[in-house]
Structures are given as C-alpha cells and as structure tokens.
Amino acid sequence: MSVPEQDPGKRPARRVRYAGTHPRKFHEKYKELARDRYAADVEKILKSGKTPAGTHRPIMVNEILQVLAPQAGERGIDCTLGYGGHAQKLLRAIQPDGCLLGIDADPIELPKTEARLRSAGFPAETLIVQRTNFAALPGLIPALLPGGADFLLADLGLSSMQIDDPARGFTFKVDAPLDMRMNPARGSSAAEFLAKIDQRGLAQLLVDAADELWAEPLASGLIAAQESSVIVTTGQLAEAVRKVLAKIGSFDEEDVTSTIRRVFQALRIAVNDEFSTLDILLKSIPQCVKPSGRIAILTFHSGEDRRVKKAFQAGLASGVYREISSEVIRATPQERHDNPRSIPAKLRWSIRSSS
C-alpha cells in the first residue's frame, strides 16, 4: 500500500511555547489540559499539592460518603455537578439500579462533565443531567425523581476549572475581563455590577459576603477609582484594592492578597445572587428528599455556613429534621496539605424526619 507523500513545504504544528522554564498562563499548560495524554505529568502536579489546570479535585469525598451513606438502588441529587468528582463516587455507590440527578448552571463546563461521566459508564437511566440553577430543583423533582431523593449533596465551592480559566474573570492572577458569571450568557458581569453599585451598597456587600474589616475605606476607594477610570478587568480591580490598602496602612503581601480575594469573592456572590439562591435551596430541601433522607452541604465561607447552620437548626426545632450536625466537619490535615483549596471547607449535614 502506498503512503501519500507529505508536503515538504508544510511543517507540523508546533506545541505551545511559553516564556521561562515553566508554563504560567492557562493556555500554555497544555499537558495539564490534556491529562489523558500526559498522565505522568499530571500525577506529579497532584503529588505536589496542586490542582492541574482545567480540572477540579473533589473535597472531603470520604466524609461526604460517610454522611450520605449511599446504597445500591438509591436515588440522589448532586446540586452542583461541577467537574463530577463527587458524582462519580456517588454513582458507583448506588449501583446497581441507582440514579443520580446532577444539575449545574455553568453552560461551559457542564457538557464536558457529562461527557466524562458518560464515558465512565453512566448512561441516561443512571445519570440525569440538567443545566439549571439549584433554586429550580423543586420543579424538577416530580418529573425526574418522583417521590424525592434518598440523599442530596450541595458543594457550594467554586470549581477549580472556573477559577483557573482567566477568560471567566474569577481570578486576579491574570489580567482578564472582569466577568465572574457562572453563566456568561445571563445577567450582568462583575464590571457592570461594580459600575452601578454605590458606596454604601458596596461596603455592605463586603461585610455581608466577605466579613471584610476594611469594608468602608475599600468601598470609598473603589468607587473613587471607578469614577476616574472605569474598572473593567481583574487586574484593574486588584490594583485598585492595592492602592486603597496602601493609603490605609502597611500590609504584608499575604494580607493584601487575602483582601483582594475577599473583594473578588463578594463581587462573585453578588453577580451570581448566590445567597438568595442558597436560601431558596435550604427552604426547598424538605420537598426534594424522602423521609429519613440525608443532606450534606459543603460551604467555603462564613456567609454560606451561617445560612446552612441556621436553616438546619430551624428545621430541627420545627421537626422537619430529626438530626443535624452539632459541629462542622473539616478536611483532614492530610487533605489540607495535599489540596490547599480544601482549607476553608466546612461540611454540615442533616437527616429528614421519618414523617
């Protein structure tokens, strides 16, 4: 059989080049973004305690499995499918004959996650995928899981693949459009939100959504910066925060970075209306799970945890729940070492009453 000759004037495509000895920009990390092809390289990154670009490491998997105790044949709900790490473990635990409803609002990542889970052997009758916000969950139950679920998981953390992709505007490590929307096709971007909010509203947001000690001067400084030059990129916002802190006093780099992170967190929560959505979920959980159903919620900052704690306590007092966690469960020291993004995680659980 003859082999077609290669065009001598056409060179093969070259791999992505980057400055220095290690890739720093998201698109340059081609080995991390192709983990099936470069498995050994990805394994080295994982062992170093880092998360490969474009992926997500599920947090507190063993603790969640212990709390939810999924059994063969049961039906469950994963309210935040994300990268599918928790879902894959839950799906394996409920086979044979089990079914998991996985929902997520992210139109960019959800198709990738569904494809990964399908290729792992979970067909439509085992895994039902819906792109929606989990506030819409009660409307899905009658048709998709009539009678409710045996267990429900809500991981409220931002997925690493969202954080790491500069195009999404969640990170200040790379200068990019200030977006932060879970669904980029809906609502206002963080830049648009920042352009509309007033000083009082911004200060209150920084307190409510980030427990920010310097909320007042930060709000004043950011509004002033916005008036002189509209903030439209992540780099501009981070630099504006730095300038405000420089006027307040002397801060080390760790404190500055932590403050920038809190400002980004507060804006992200506002842009995606995360607190209102969580409140709706907490009220609707009893409609979504069966009597004696188990619920686990993983939070990543105090504003979320306070809401979950109060909702579970109120449910226990009213008889909706027969038991709730008395204390938060945290990641083990080993997991915090291996995956630093697990450090702020708090897990709370509840069990619905039997009637």
Point out the annotated binding site for S-adenosyl-L-methionine: 84-86, 104, 134, 155, 162
CA atoms within 13 A on the CB side of 242: 11
3-state DSSP call for residue 326? coil
Helix 199-210 and helix 302-318, axial crossing angle in degrees, nearest 10: 70
What is the DSSP track for 163-186? HH-GGG---SSS--B----SSTTS
**Cα–Cα distance for residue pair 124/118, rounded to 1 Å:** 8
* Token pair recorded at residue 320: 């909706």
The candidate with the shortest Cα–Cα distance to 343, out of 170, 157, 171, is 157
Residue holding tokens 């310097």?
Answer: 214
Token representation of residue 331: 């990641």
How many of the other CB atoms lie within 10 Å of CB of 310?
Answer: 11
259/218 Cα distance (integer angstroms): 10
Distance of CA 351 to the CA centre of its chain: 24
Please report the sign of the dihedral spanned by the C-alpha atoms of residue 36, residue 300, residue 340, residue 160: positive
CA–CA separation, 59 and 345 (whole Å): 8
Per the annotation, where are the binding residues?
A: 84-86, 104, 134, 155, 162
Which tokens hold the place of 172? Answer: 């200040």
* Strands ordered across the beta sheet of 321-324: 127-131, 99-104, 75-78, 149-155, 289-299, 346-352, 321-324
The residues, any chain, with a CB within 8 Å of residue 222's CB and separated by 6 or more, are: 194, 202, 231, 237, 240, 241, 244, 263
Task: Measure Cα distances from 26 to 54, 56, 120, 140, 338 in Å.
Answer: 8, 14, 26, 36, 21
